[in-house]
Structures are given as structure tokens and as C-alpha cells.
Amino acid sequence: MAHRRSVEILVGLFMAAGFLSLFFLAIMVSDLSRYTGTEGYRITARFENIGGLEIRAPVTMAGVRVGRVEGIAFDRETYQAVVTLQIDRQFDTIPVDSFASIFTAGLLGAQYVGLEPGGSAEVLRDGGRIDQTQSALVLEQIISQFFFSKAEEDSE
């Protein structure tokens, strides 16, 4: 009887450890551990096409994550996507003339915003705006352009 009770306790502890491990794995995979809420500062960038960019997508500079996409809106006057970026507080020296591009991680991976620093001595502050942007390359558009150019070559 005592042996059976100790086996049940060990199985229970093993199951609890398994569920705890799954919980931490889910937190790490979803990257909720880096979600900073209101910490940092916000800047905006306007793009002609954001492709599949989503809220909470990473913002990187030189391959290092410096923030997240906090919001995506549509400007009805300019017909552009307005992307709000939340930059972590420790990266407070990004020049105002920096360049923002939307990249894809891998061939069919998620999209993210990549920043390239400019040369200005002025730095972006809360509420600042990046004026120089490059929209996302949409794979379907590239493929259709390739096929249309091939069709034109064949018809000539």
C-alpha cells in the first residue's frame, strides 16, 4: 500500500513538472516573456504595402531585436499603411533619417521590420516618424511579373 502511494505521488509530480514545462515552452514560443507593454517609445512609419506584417512582429536593427510592431492602421487620405513601432528604451539613439524595410524571415516565413541607421546626429523620440521606407515584396507579385515577362518574350 505504501509503495503504491509513493508511485502515485511520483506520477503526480512528474505530470505537474510536465505541465509546468509545457507552460514555459508556450511562453517562450509565443515570446510573451519579451512583451514590454508600455516600456520604450513609439515611432511610426508609412508603407505602400505591408504584405503579411502582423502586430507584435519583431523590429530589428543589424539582426538584433530592438522592438515590436505595436499597431497597424490605414490612412484613408494617402492610402498607405501606418505602422506603429514600439522601440525598447535602451535603443534610444536611432537617427531620425533611418530607413525602415519590411523583410520576410525565410522563403515563406513571418515578416518583420528591419531598420537601417542613417547618419543624422538627431535621434528619434517618442512620437517620431521614419520617412524613408521600403514596402514588403509580395511573392505573388514577383511571380506574376516573371510570368508576364516570359509571356512577352515568347510572343516576340
pLDDT tens-digit map of 77-93: 999 999 999 999 999 99
Q: Closest Cα to residue 83, out of 107, 105, 102?
A: 102
CA 92-98-100 angle, 5° bins: 105
Give the start-to-end residue ranges of the domains of the chain. Answer: 2-30, 37-144
Q: Closest Cα to residue 128, out of 93, 77, 155?
A: 93
124 vs 22, residue with greater confidence: 124
pTM: 0.68
Distance CA 126, CA 87 (A): 9
DSSP H/E element including 136: none
Cβ atoms within 10 A of the Cβ of 129, count?
Answer: 13
Percent share of the chain, pLDDT over 90:
50
Give me the pLDDT at residue 29, please: 65
> DSSP letters along 76-112, please?
TTTTEEEEEEEE-TT----BTT-EEEEEESSSS--EE
